[in-house]
Each structure stands twice: as C-alpha cells, then as structure tokens.
C-alpha cells in the first residue's frame, strides 16, 4: 500500500510528510519536485506570504545516493515565516473556515485549528505528488493540470502544451482569456474580495485495470474524487463529461467502441478505440486506458480583506471576522495541487495492482499482466465468449 501522512502548521517551524510503500529503485529528481513547489507558489493573485517562503524539499530518509530504497521517505519543508507562538488569538471566527466548528470540536482557541487547516499544508502534498510522478514517468504515465475557468471567465484549453500553460500568468491553456481573468483578479483585489475557479487534470498512459468494480472503496473514480475533495476549498469534483452527462440522452453520453486490428503489441488499449471520452477514462470504477480527465471546482477563499460579519467569541456580540493574511486568488496554485494529488492516487493504484517492492518488480508485473491480457483476448472464440480453457 502506498500512503502518506503530513504534519505541521502554517506558521510552525516546518511541514513534514512521511511516504510509506514507495518502491525502491526510483531515481529522485529533487529539481523537479522543487519546480512543482515553485509553481504552486506562483500564479497571479497570490498574497505576500509567497514572497516570504522559498519552498525547497529536504529528503531526510528513504533514499541512498539519490535512489529510493523502499523504506519510508521523509519530506520536509522549512517555514521561513515561522512565528506560531507569537501570533495573536483571533477573536471572531471567519465564515467558510474551520475556525468556529474546529475550536469547539477540539476545545481550543481558533489559532490552534486554523494553523493546521491552512492551505499551506498543500505544499507538502505537491511534494508528495511530485515524488509519485517520478514513479509514474518510469512507467510511461504523465499527469498534466491547468486552469479551465477563473472568476466565472471560461478558459477552455486551446492545446495541451506545457509551455503555453507555464507562460500564462494564471496557468490556463487559453491565452485569449488571460487578459480578462487578470482584470477580474485586479477588480476583486480592489473590492477586498476573492475569486474561485475550475481546475482540470489529465492522466495519459494509464493501463487498463487500475481500480476495481468489485467494492465501493476500490473504485478509481471514487478514490480520485475523495482525494481531490480533501484539498482545501474544493467543493465539487467531476470525471470526464461530469455533470453535463445528466443533461444529455444516453446516446450522447456513451462512448462507442471500435477496434484497430493493426495495433502494436504494446498498445495499452489492446487495439480498442473510442472516438469520444465522455467517461473520462474510467468505467465502472476502473481505468479503460483512455486519458483520465478530472475536474475540480474551487470556491473563493473565505478570508476577505473586506472582512465578513461574524461574532466575537468572548462577548458573543456582532463583530467583523478576523482577517488573516491571504490570497485574492489561489486558483492557479490549486491547479498544481490537483495535478499532484491526482498523480499520487494514480501511483497508489499502480502499486496496489502491480504489487512489487521495487520499480523493476512493478515493471515486470505490468509486462506480465499485459501479456496475460493479450492471451485472454486472443482466446475469445467466434461466439463472443472466452474459449474453454478446461483440460
């Protein structure tokens, strides 16, 4: 089982993650992980905190001479803006945050819960996801994320070129939309308001059979949705066509299946072709080797410079909510988070299916499974059912 835990507070000394079950034999590209952390800190609309932090990952265990050993991997990020013990206790909880419910649930002050609930924790999840992507790349899989809408302004992808996304101030694949989006962020800043948006991530190169239909908690789409919903401020997740599927007749939703008899032996789709991908690469909780498309909807940040109405916790009288330094818009950063959270869940499903403690063992298992599936398909009889294999 591939899993991880994170620890640390927003303004504590450091953030730490422990990754367990990561196979041996994967070369660590620390520069790649650091680039992902840098992308998370970027994007138009971020606050002053990002100028104070310079996220660089420290790998404290689980590697030897730059290669994973199979032991638990410890990832650590130093908080340059560490001042937890000096920060004041907020007097009035912010609506839309954990402040009120968390302080009552844990019987503490607001500071003790908001520091852990902060989206600062997602820096670790980006580092963990980037680590997982190093494994996926060894297996021929890639994950790519971008902004599809921001502040109600659509930015449908015009291509899937990383250079276009990385050149965009708001991480879209639609330069025609960027100017209007930047103007909307500026207007929100002037009004003391915030903006949300829609993020998409695409996984390519997935083999058939990740996840399973046999139990609810093994369904790949359910696992992806749960992981994405755990990201701060994400309020909805779609797979493929998503909610639009509810508005169409079945004939406009199902994906036709065709067959290419000239497909290469290493084709992960085994020759089956689909002119559409409304299912988003997952059918019945299982990957079907088409690109996996997930879409996440992020609400605007609830910490407002204009300070929404609240109640003083001591006096119970009406009071403006406490203002904690925050972003006007963190949608571009959220696209990086979604991209890497998706990567980890795909990697976890890979390790689960192709059980192996090393990269070589997983590769061997993938090759063997692919060949078994090819033999299974060739054994189908003319009547459309598997040939009888009994002696």
Instruction: Name every residue whose Cβ is closer than 8 Å to that of residue 155 and which is 6 or more positions away in sequence.
Output: 147, 148, 149, 170, 172, 173, 174, 177, 178, 181
Give helix then strand counts, H and E, for the chain.
10, 18
Neighbours of 162 (CB within 10 A): 12
Q: What is the pLDDT of residue 306?
A: 67
Positive or negative, the Cα torsion across 129, 97, 323, 182? positive
CA angle at 299 for the pair 193 and 117, rounded to the nearest 5°: 95
Cα(142)–Cα(340) distance, integer angstroms: 11
- Nearest one of 359, 357, 350 to 25, comparing CA atoms: 359
Instruction: Name every residue whose Cβ is closer than 8 Å to that of residue 375 and which is 6 or more positions away in sequence.
Output: none
> By the 8 A CB rule, do 181 and 170 touch?
yes
> By the 8 A CB rule, do 280 and 270 touch?
no
Order the strands of the 73-78 sheet from edge to edge. 3-7, 14-20, 73-78, 58-61
CATH of domain 3-240+279-353: 3.60.150.10
Instruction: Name every residue whose Cβ is closer than 8 Å to that of residue 52 and which is 6 or more positions away in sequence.
Output: 80, 81
Cα(230)–Cα(334) distance, integer angstroms: 12
Cα(307)–Cα(300) distance, integer angstroms: 14
> By the 8 A CB rule, do 295 and 66 touch?
no
Cα(26)–Cα(19) distance, integer angstroms: 14
Instruction: Name every residue whose Cβ is closer than 8 Å to that of residue 249 and which is 6 or more positions away in sequence.
Output: none
- Nearest one of 149, 144, 278 to 206, comparing CA atoms: 144
**Residues linked to residue 24 through DSSP beta bridges, in sequence order:** 358
User: Which residues of the chain, if any, have pLDDT below 50?
Assistant: 391
Q: What is the pLDDT of residue 227?
A: 97
> By the 8 A CB rule, do 94 and 324 touch?
yes
Cα(253)–Cα(255) distance, integer angstroms: 6
Q: What is the pLDDT of residue 96?
A: 86
Instruction: Name every residue whose Cβ is closer than 8 Å to that of residue 101 and which is 6 or more positions away in sequence.
Output: none
Q: What is the pLDDT of residue 381?
A: 59
- Nearest one of 157, 152, 166, 7 to 77, comparing CA atoms: 7
Q: What is the pLDDT of residue 384?
A: 61
> By the 8 A CB rule, do 43 and 171 touch?
yes
Q: What is the pLDDT of residue 51?
A: 60
Show me where the domains of the chain are located.
3-240+279-353, 357-391
Q: What is the pLDDT of residue 50?
A: 57
Q: What is the pLDDT of residue 84?
A: 83
Cα(128)–Cα(107) distance, integer angstroms: 31
Cα(326)–Cα(50) distance, integer angstroms: 10
């Amino acid at each position: 089982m591939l899993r991880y835990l994170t620890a640390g507070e927003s303004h504590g000394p450091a953030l730490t993650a422990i990754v367990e079950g990561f196979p041996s034999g994967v070369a660590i590209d620390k520069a790649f992980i650091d680039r992902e952390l840098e992308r998370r800190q970027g994007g138009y609309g971020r606050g002053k905190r990002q100028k104070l932090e310079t996220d660089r990952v420290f790998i404290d265990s689980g590697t030897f001479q730059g290669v994973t050993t199979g032991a638990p991997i410890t990832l650590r990020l130093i908080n340059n803006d560490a001042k937890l013990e000096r920060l004041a206790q907020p007097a009035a909880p912010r609506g839309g945050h954990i402040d009120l419910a968390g302080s009552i649930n844990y019987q503490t002050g607001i500071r003790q819960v908001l520091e852990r609930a902060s989206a600062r924790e997602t820096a670790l999840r980006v580092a963990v996801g980037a680590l997982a992507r190093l494994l996926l790349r060894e297996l021929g899989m890639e994950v790519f994320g971008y902004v599809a809408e921001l502040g109600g302004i659509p930015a449908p992808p015009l291509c899937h070129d990383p250079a276009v996304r990385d050149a965009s101030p708001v991480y879209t694949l639609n330069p025609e939309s960027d100017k209007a989006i930047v103007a909307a962020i500026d207007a929100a800043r002037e009004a003391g308001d915030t903006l949300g948006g829609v993020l998409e991530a695409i996984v390519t190169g997935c083999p058939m059979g990740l996840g399973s239909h046999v139990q609810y908690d093994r369904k790949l789409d359910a696992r992806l949705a749960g992981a994405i919903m755990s990201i701060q401020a994400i309020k909805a997740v779609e797979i493929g066509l998503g909610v639009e599927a509810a508005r169409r007749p079945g004939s406009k939703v199902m994906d036709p299946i065709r067959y290419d008899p000239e497909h290469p032996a290493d084709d992960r789709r085994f020759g089956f072709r689909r002119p559409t991908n409304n299912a988003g690469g997952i059918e019945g909780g299982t990957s079907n080797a088409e690109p996996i498309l997930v879409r996440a909807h992020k609400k605007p940040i609830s910490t407002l410079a204009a300070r929404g109405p609240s109640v003083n916790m001591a006096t119970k009288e009406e009071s403006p909510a406490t203002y904690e330094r925050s972003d006007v818009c963190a949608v571009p950063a959220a696209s990086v988070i979604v991209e890497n959270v998706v990567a980890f869940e795909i990697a976890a499903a890979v390790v689960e299916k192709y059980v192996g403690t090393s990269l070589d063992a997983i590769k061997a298992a993938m090759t063997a499974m692919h060949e078994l599936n090819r033999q299974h398909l060739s054994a189908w009889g003319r009547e459309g059912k598997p040939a009888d294999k009994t002696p």
